[in-house]
Amino acid sequence: MQLQFLFREGKTARTRNDVLTVGDRQVPVVYVRHRRAKHYILRMRDDGAVRLTVPWYGARKEAFKFANTRLDWIEEQLNQPGEEGAHPREWVDGSRILFRGEMTPLSISTTASSIRVTFADQGFTARGKKVDARAAVQTYLWELARPELTHRTHELAVQFRLEVRRVTVRNQRARWGSCSANKTISLNWRLIMTPEFVRDYVIIHELMHLKQLNHSKKYWRLVEDACPDYRKAETWLKENVGILK
């Protein structure tokens, strides 16, 4: 995806096409050269772009390298709620959540000191008496996802004759998964909320990085050979990302 940014030098500006890859997002960069700046400075704009202040004699290439060292900070900023999201929708009795790709109602009952939550074929009790069960349900889903995603990753690794040294299941807000050079696969616990074909695609996506640690044409051929319907899975994720967060 081609996104524009501006690089200002004095009174002039010219169009570029640099973007930062932050998880599954493509974030445009707006470079602003400043005479008094002594360091590279990152700021988030209201439109979701990164504003990168560059010292007058600084190099754009070095500025971009600097921005890539701050991806975790950028990801955190992108996930900060704005005015409309300052009060997340509560999960109360009757609320519907995605679970294994199906919209599923929550049944919540309370006692003096705990809440009982059931949905689909699952149920748990948590301490406290909160009207909003969102945090408790998400914690439960994370714990449920950890062994399931780990087991499935190893299953698929055997199927494709690949070696995975470690699998972690994390609370990744802006990415579905990642693969490191030391053969560690990290996955988003929210995959427990997606259909199986989507879950498997994300795992396969990361497993193929064990063969090709980039997103080159060769890499995408590997993905398509291993998961011919991967575009369908990507479409599902894009259409449902708002529900999953």
Comparing 209 with 132, the larger pLDDT belongs to 209
pLDDT of 25 strictly over 60: yes
Render pLDDT for 157-170 as a digit per residue (tens, 0 to 9): 999 999 999 999 99
Cα torsion angle, 16, 212, 22, 182, sign: negative
End of a domain among 49, 78, 107? 78
Considering the domain architecture, whether residues 70 and 157 belong to the same structural domain is answered as no
Task: Evaluate whether 226 touches 204 at the Cβ level (below 8 Å).
Answer: yes
Considering the domain architecture, whether residues 69 and 145 belong to the same structural domain is answered as no
Structurally, the chain folds into a number of domains equal to 2
Comparing 1 with 49, the larger pLDDT belongs to 49
E strand segments, 35-155: 41-44, 50-55, 96-99, 102-105, 107-110, 114-119, 122-127
- Residue owning tokens 């000191």: 113
End of a domain among 23, 51, 78? 78
In whole angstroms, give the CA distance from residue 142 to residue 176: 14
Q: What are phi and psi of 111, to 5 degrees?
A: -120, -170
200 three-state secondary structure? helix
pLDDT of 9 strictly over 70: no
Residue 169's domain comprises: 141-244
Considering the domain architecture, whether residues 72 and 145 belong to the same structural domain is answered as no
Kindly state whether residue 114 falls inside one of the protein's structural domains. no
Kindly state whether residue 98 falls inside one of the protein's structural domains. no
Kindly state whether residue 39 falls inside one of the protein's structural domains. yes
Provide the percentage of residues in the chain whose pLDDT is more than 70.
Answer: 85
Say if strands 114-119 and 122-127 run parallel, antiparallel, or are unpaired: antiparallel
Task: Evaluate whether 97 touches 140 at the Cβ level (below 8 Å).
Answer: no
Render pLDDT for 172-207 as a digit per residue (tens, 0 to 9): 766 899 999 899 999 999 999 999 999 999 999 999
Considering the domain architecture, whether residues 169 and 240 belong to the same structural domain is answered as yes
End of a domain among 56, 78, 100? 78
pLDDT of 34 strictly over 50: yes
Render pLDDT for 101-155 as a digit per residue (tens, 0 to 9): 999 999 999 888 889 999 999 999 988 767 778 889 999 999 999 999 999 999 9
Exposure string for 107-136, b = 16+ CB within 10 A, e = fewer? ebeeeeeebebebeeeeeebeeebeebbeb
Task: Evaluate whether 17 touches 2 at the Cβ level (below 8 Å).
Answer: yes
Task: Give whole-number Cα distances, 66 to 16, 78, 79, 204, 236, in Å.
Answer: 17, 18, 21, 30, 33
How many other C-beta atoms can be found within 10 angstroms of the C-beta atom of residue 21?
12
Residue 197 belongs to domain with CATH number: 3.30.2010.10
